[in-house]
């Protein structure tokens, strides 16, 4: 009896008893495996299942492996956008959608936008604001393989002061009472409550609106809108429950107070100053400059007849400042993580941000690193994504031209692999 059991156990534990992952080999004519390091030519990326097994010199052949010939292509890690809004896209009917769309409506739009984002070469995103139920469903649907889209980290709706950027505004009082954000809060205790409710809903991070914003329908400016004791309460509550906080912040008062109170990153950062740069560096805080959003709102303010007077004025004031802001931050040594605020701009156009970063003074290599290595560290996924190295997810893209010579080549991604599966070839 014992010998029979031993035989069965030996069979069960033998390699033949387990399904073997498929092997894929990519022949890369030019490979930027770790942006910031020099690229290499004629490389083979060996992929087992959803992860990279190894990189070998030359074009290797492996028996029964699937070969993907990118020998005439420029191959890079999948791109990461640290600031998107997958559930929506700015349009003339947006204000009406805010009070007529259900969570299901937002989620359906999100499915379409997620696909566009992945096909543009962005294999991971951080979504920072939007309907809570819809974005959680979208994230989980992608994770479970039910929809095609980038990996997502999500914040759900922003924690915001009542009436601030992130709350509803610009409607009559009855509508605003009915649709007020569940994450609007006043005073330290109420702000702790808002954070804890979001954590209960399974968000990955907390986003706050530390200052006024451009597209909110109110003339409340773009400076600090939380009191310091509220900011401290938010940071403490988030940290105690294993979440970091990122802050929408345009005005310098809101930027500096958010950093001083322990924020992980600043989104936008339009009016940062020399003291802000010192605070960024001293506290190891990331800047997500969203230059494409600045360019987009200026274009709309100059051409769209559906913008309200408040948003038009703020767009023309804030948008033109953002390139110079990014230039100062880069020269000052601030860590810049790629982020576009797409949803203000069109989904799938995320890569337009690269040319704007280069215009602001980054080299093409620095711009690419911001969307790979630095962004992976910012979203705390650098063990899994951001480079093409053994053990990481096989998130790989390819373009036809050298992006180090012309970074706009990344606006036309021809090959997209995410987790070892090809989505665009």
Q: Is the same domain home to 233 and 334?
A: yes
383 in any annotated domain? no
Q: Is the same domain home to 270 and 200?
A: yes
pLDDT for the residue 168: 59
Q: Is the same domain home to 67 and 104?
A: no
176 in any annotated domain? yes
CB 114 within 8 A of CB 149: yes
Q: Is the same domain home to 302 and 398?
A: no
pLDDT for the residue 177: 61
126 in any annotated domain? yes
Q: What is the DSSP letter of 158?
A: P
pLDDT for the residue 174: 64
Distance (Å, rounded) from C-alpha 92 to C-alpha 308? Answer: 11
Q: Is the same domain home to 301 and 171?
A: yes
287 in any annotated domain? yes
Q: What is the CA radius of gyration of the chain?
A: 23
Distance (Å, rounded) from C-alpha 165 to C-alpha 404? Answer: 38
Give every CB contact of residue 18 below 8 A, 6+ residues apart in sequence: none
Instruction: Assign residue 69 the CATH number of its domain.
Output: 2.30.40.10
Q: Is the same domain home to 167 and 121?
A: yes
CB 336 within 8 A of CB 79: no
385 in any annotated domain? no
Q: What is the pLDDT along the chain (425 residues), one digit of tens a residue?
A: 444 434 433 433 333 333 357 999 999 999 999 999 999 999 999 999 999 999 999 999 999 999 999 999 999 999 999 999 999 998 787 777 877 889 999 999 999 999 999 999 999 999 999 999 999 999 999 999 999 999 999 999 999 998 777 665 555 576 666 566 778 899 999 999 999 999 999 999 999 999 986 655 565 567 899 999 999 999 999 999 999 999 999 999 999 999 999 999 999 999 999 999 999 999 999 999 999 998 998 887 777 776 677 777 767 777 788 999 999 999 999 999 999 999 999 999 999 999 999 999 999 999 999 999 999 999 999 999 999 999 999 999 999 999 999 999 999 999 999 999 999 88
Distance (Å, rounded) from C-alpha 92 to C-alpha 226? Answer: 30
pLDDT for the residue 310: 73
Burial 249-277 (b: 16+ CB within 10 A, else e): bbbbebbbbbbebbbbbbbbbbbbeeebb
Q: Is the same domain home to 87 and 33?
A: no
Determine the structural domain holding residue 39 and report its residue range. 19-76+391-424
Instruction: Assign residue 276 the CATH number of its domain.
Output: 3.20.20.140
DSSP string spanning 287-331?
Answer: EE--HHHHHHHHHHHHH-TTS-HHHHHHHHHHGGGHHHHHHHHHH
Distance (Å, rounded) from C-alpha 257 to C-alpha 211? Answer: 10
386 in any annotated domain? no
Distance (Å, rounded) from C-alpha 203 to C-alpha 139? Answer: 10
Q: Is the same domain home to 154 and 198?
A: yes
12 in any annotated domain? no
Q: Is the same domain home to 93 and 71?
A: no
Q: Is the same domain home to 185 and 219?
A: yes
pLDDT for the residue 408: 98
Q: Is the same domain home to 309 and 416?
A: no
pLDDT for the residue 221: 61
pLDDT for the residue 185: 94
Q: Is the same domain home to 37 and 159?
A: no
Structural domains counted in the chain: 2
174 in any annotated domain? yes
């Amino acid at each position: 009896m014992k010998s029979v059991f031993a035989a069965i156990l030996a069979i069960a534990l033998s390699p033949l008893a387990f399904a073997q992952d498929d092997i894929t080999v990519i022949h890369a004519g030019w490979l930027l495996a770790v942006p910031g390091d020099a690229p290499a030519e004629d490389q083979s990326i060996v992929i087992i299942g959803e992860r990279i097994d190894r990189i070998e010199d030359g074009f290797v052949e492996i028996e029964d492996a699937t070969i993907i010939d990118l020998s005439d292509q420029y191959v890079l890690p999948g791109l990461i956008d640290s600031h998107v809004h997958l559930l929506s896209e700015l349009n003339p009917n947006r204000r009406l959608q805010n009070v007529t769309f259900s969570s299901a409506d937002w989620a359906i739009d999100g499915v379409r936008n997620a696909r566009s984002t992945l096909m543009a070469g962005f294999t991971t995103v951080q979504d920072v604001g939007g309907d809570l139920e819809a974005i959680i469903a979208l994230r989980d649907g992608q994770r479970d393989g039910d929809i095609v889209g980038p990996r997502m980290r999500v914040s759900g709706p922003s924690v915001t002061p009542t009436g601030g950027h992130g709350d509803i505004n610009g409607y009559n009082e009855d509508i605003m009472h009915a649709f007020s954000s569940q994450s609007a809060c006043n005073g330290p205790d109420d702000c702790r409550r808002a954070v804890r409710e979001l954590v209960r809903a399974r968000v990955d991070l907390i986003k706050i609106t530390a200052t006024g914003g451009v597209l909110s329908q109110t003339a409340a400016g773009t400076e600090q809108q939380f009191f310091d004791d509220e900011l401290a309460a938010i940071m403490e509550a988030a940290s105690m429950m294993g979440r970091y906080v990122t802050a929408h912040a345009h005005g310098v008062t809101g930027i500096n107070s958010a950093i001083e109170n322990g924020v992980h990153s600043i989104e936008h950062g339009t009016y940062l100053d020399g003291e802000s740069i010192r605070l960024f560096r001293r506290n190891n805080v990331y800047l997500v400059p969203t230059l494409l959003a600045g360019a987009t709102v200026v274009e709309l303010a100059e051409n769209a007849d559906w913008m309200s007077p408040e948003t038009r004025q703020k767009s023309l004031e804030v948008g033109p400042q953002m390139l110079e802001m990014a230039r100062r931050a880069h020269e000052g040594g601030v860590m810049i993580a790629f982020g576009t605020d797409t949803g203000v701009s069109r989904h799938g156009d995320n890569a337009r941000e690269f040319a704007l970063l280069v215009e602001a003074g980054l080299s093409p290599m620095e711009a690419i690193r911001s969307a790979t290595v630095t962004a992976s560290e910012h979203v705390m996924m650098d063990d899994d994504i951001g480079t093409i190295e053994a053990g990481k997810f096989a998130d790989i893209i390819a373009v036809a031209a050298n992006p180090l010579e012309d970074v706009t080549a990344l606006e036309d991604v021809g090959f997209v692999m995410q987790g070892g599966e090809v989505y665009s070839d």
